[in-house]
């Protein structure tokens, strides 16, 4: 399958053309800091050719949804470092999607502050997700010219923080009705300054942000996501063909890693004059690497890549419930269905508890922890194993013969080696170096003395 072949996306050398699309999961804390669950979530999916993170707020004022991550504070950067480090240890490549929600928010999420937008035009006919339930959208406050420029500065600051956090690049979220998209379409942008009016002016915000991102990251490490034919969140442009053709022409002058194009056209009946085939219309206008998204399966993705219409395909919900999606595509295995009720509820359920194919493993060297234990305090050591056991399993680990955790805890074999097998050497290293395991080590203190060594190959 061509989907399984490696390809360069700018400076990003991806090992296959199956991309994990950005998906909001609402698992950060109130300060926008991700935790150990997020680390596990991405490591489980590190076999993707490229991981594009969930949309990540560039500033406190960018936030529109509760429990979403950020990249504006030092604490957020340090938390993301653990994620990127673990993904890299597992052999993955990961970029941060930079996000400003604009008017797609609510004051209940923003500490009482009304959302901001290019113009004071609210979203009609939809409601917004808040901690206290769905709420009608408010009329946003129009950004001043100075605030527009300050927001562009925020994008640059977040891009620098993404580099400090160890990401491999960044993607601008310019789709789905968020702030960059709001500047582009004339139904949401009725400004009369240099950021509104003509197509050239409405595209200025996106182009200035992209120029800043490339200035931070250099050639081949910045992408952009666009949805020219998606009217969700009130994105009804009078002439999307003209608007996005101009934007793509200007973007071609930048040394981008890729264009991430959403082909969704659910509003075709409402807008019969709009292009009906997004990829066929806008894809050829981009002279670089193209990732396509929305509604692809194994067969249609292979067809679009083999036919030369795109360099890679991104998948959203299939990656939620199939952390081993690449392997399933490789062997033609059926996909597990996602439980959409758990998408945004927080916690481990529906996040890191979807199993990989039973009895299957990638065709790479297996990894092991070799453990030699002398238990001093069986009760405390039992607490450690209660935490470490599920963590091992979340990385695909399982305890083999030659003594197991139960025997060691009970003290029947006070000093005996046992092995924890992982599907790959990278998975073993990622688990061993994870923040979650470092926390588990604290429970081990004083309970046992033992050595852990990651080895490659077959257990003796």
CATH number of the domain at 383, please.
Answer: 3.30.70.100
pLDDT attached to residue 369:
61
pLDDT attached to residue 418:
56
Domain end marker among 342, 358, 392: 342
Q: Is the domain of 305 the same as that of 385?
A: no
> Residue 351: inside a domain, yes or no?
no
CATH number of the domain at 28, please.
Answer: 3.20.20.70
CB 60 within 8 A of CB 70: yes
pLDDT attached to residue 440:
74
Q: Is the domain of 311 the same as that of 379?
A: no
> Residue 349: inside a domain, yes or no?
no
Provide the phi-psi class of 294: left if phi over 0, else alpha when psi is between -120 and 50, else beta: left
Q: Is the domain of 201 the same as that of 252?
A: yes
How do residues 122-159 score in pLDDT, each as one tens digit?
A: 999 999 989 888 999 999 999 999 999 999 999 999 99
> Residue 417: inside a domain, yes or no?
yes
> Residue 122: inside a domain, yes or no?
yes
Q: Is the domain of 228 the same as that of 102?
A: yes
- C-alpha–C-alpha distance, residues 2 and 306, integer Å: 6
Instruction: Look up 395 and say whether it is catalytic.
Output: no
> Residue 347: inside a domain, yes or no?
no
Catalytic residue among 178, 351, 395, 418: 178
Stronger pLDDT, 232 or 93, i.e. the higher one: 93
Across the range 7-21, mean pLDDT stands at 96
Q: Is the domain of 334 the same as that of 393?
A: no
How do residues 163-216 score in pLDDT, each as one tens digit?
A: 999 999 999 999 999 999 999 999 999 999 999 999 999 999 999 999 999 999
> Residue 352: inside a domain, yes or no?
no
pLDDT attached to residue 401:
46
Across the range 344-355, mean pLDDT stands at 93
> Residue 414: inside a domain, yes or no?
yes
pLDDT attached to residue 413:
40
Name the percent of the chain in helix, strand, coil, to the closest 5.
Answer: 35, 20, 45
Q: Is the pLDDT of residue 460 over 60?
A: no
| Secondary structure class of 290 (helix, strand, coil) | strand
Provide the edge-to-edge strand list for the sheet that holds 448-456.
Answer: 398-399, 415-422, 367-375, 448-456
The structural domain count of the chain equals 2
Tell me the pLDDT band of 273, cut-offs 50, 70 and 90: confident
Q: How many CA atoms lie within 13 A of 165 on its CB side?
A: 32
Q: Is the domain of 268 the same as that of 401?
A: no
Q: Is the domain of 97 the same as that of 216?
A: yes
Q: What range defines the domain where residue 220 resides?
A: 2-342
How do residues 355-381 score in pLDDT, each as one tens digit?
A: 988 755 444 456 666 555 566 676 776
pLDDT attached to residue 328:
95
How do residues 385-396 score in pLDDT, each as one tens digit?
A: 777 778 877 777
How do residues 406-440 score in pLDDT, each as one tens digit?
A: 444 444 444 445 567 777 766 777 777 777 777 77
CB 13 within 8 A of CB 55: no
> Residue 354: inside a domain, yes or no?
no
pTM: 0.81
Token pair 């022409």 is found at 249
Q: Is the domain of 255 the same as that of 390?
A: no
């Amino acid at each position: 399958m061509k989907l399984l072949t490696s390809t360069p996306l700018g400076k990003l050398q991806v090992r296959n053309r199956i991309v994990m699309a950005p998906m909001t999961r609402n698992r950060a804390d109130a300060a926008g800091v991700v935790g150990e669950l997020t680390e596990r979530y991405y490591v489980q999916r590190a076999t993707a050719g490229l991981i594009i993170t969930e949309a990540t707020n560039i500033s406190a004022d960018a936030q529109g949804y509760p429990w979403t991550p950020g990249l504006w504070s030092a604490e957020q950067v340090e938390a993301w470092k653990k994620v990127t480090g673990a993904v890299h240890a597992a052999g993955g490549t990961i970029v941060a999607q930079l996000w400003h929600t604009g008017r797609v928010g609510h004051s209940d999420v923003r500490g009482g502050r009304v959302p901001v937008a290019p113009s004071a035009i609210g979203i009609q006919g939809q409601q917004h997700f808040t901690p206290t339930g769905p709420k009608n959208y408010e009329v946003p406050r129009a950004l001043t010219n100075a605030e527009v420029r300050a927001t562009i500065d925020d994008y640059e600051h977040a891009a620098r923080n993404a580099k400090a956090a160890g990401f491999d690049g960044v993607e601008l979220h310019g789709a789905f009705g968020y702030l960059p998209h709001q500047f582009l379409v004339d139904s949401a942008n009725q400004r009369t300054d240099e950021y509104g009016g003509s197509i050239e002016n409405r595209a200025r915000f996106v182009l200035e942000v992209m120029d800043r991102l490339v200035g931070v990251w250099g050639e081949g490490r910045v992408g952009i996501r666009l949805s020219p034919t998606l009217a969700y969140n009130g994105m009804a442009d009078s002439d999307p063909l003209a608007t996005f053709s101009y934007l793509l022409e200007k973007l071609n002058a930048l040394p981008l890693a890729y264009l991430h194009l959403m082909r969704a056209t659910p509003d075709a009946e409402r807008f019969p004059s709009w292009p009906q085939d997004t990829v066929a219309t806008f894809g050829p206008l981009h002279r670089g690497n193209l990732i396509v998204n929305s509604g692809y399966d194994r067969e249609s993705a292979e067809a679009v890549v083999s036919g030369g219409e795109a360099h890679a395909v991104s998948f959203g919900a299939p990656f939620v419930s199939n952390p081993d999606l690449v392997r399933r595509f490789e062997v033609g295995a059926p996909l597990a269905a996602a439980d959409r009720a758990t998408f945004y509820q927080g916690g481990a359920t529906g996040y890191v508890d979807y199993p990989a194919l039973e009895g299957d493993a990638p065709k790479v060297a297996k990894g092991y922890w070799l453990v030699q234990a002398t238990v001093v305090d069986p009760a405390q050591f039992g607490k450690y194993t209660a935490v470490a056991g599920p963590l091992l399993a979340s990385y695909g680990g399982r305890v083999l013969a030659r003594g197991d955790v139960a025997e060691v805890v009970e003290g029947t074999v006070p000093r005996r080696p046992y092995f924890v097998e992982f599907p790959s050497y990278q998975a073993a290293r990622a688990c061993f170096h994870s923040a979650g395991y470092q926390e588990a080590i604290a429970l081990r203190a004083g309970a046992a003395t033992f050595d852990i060594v990651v080895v490659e190959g077959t257990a003796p």
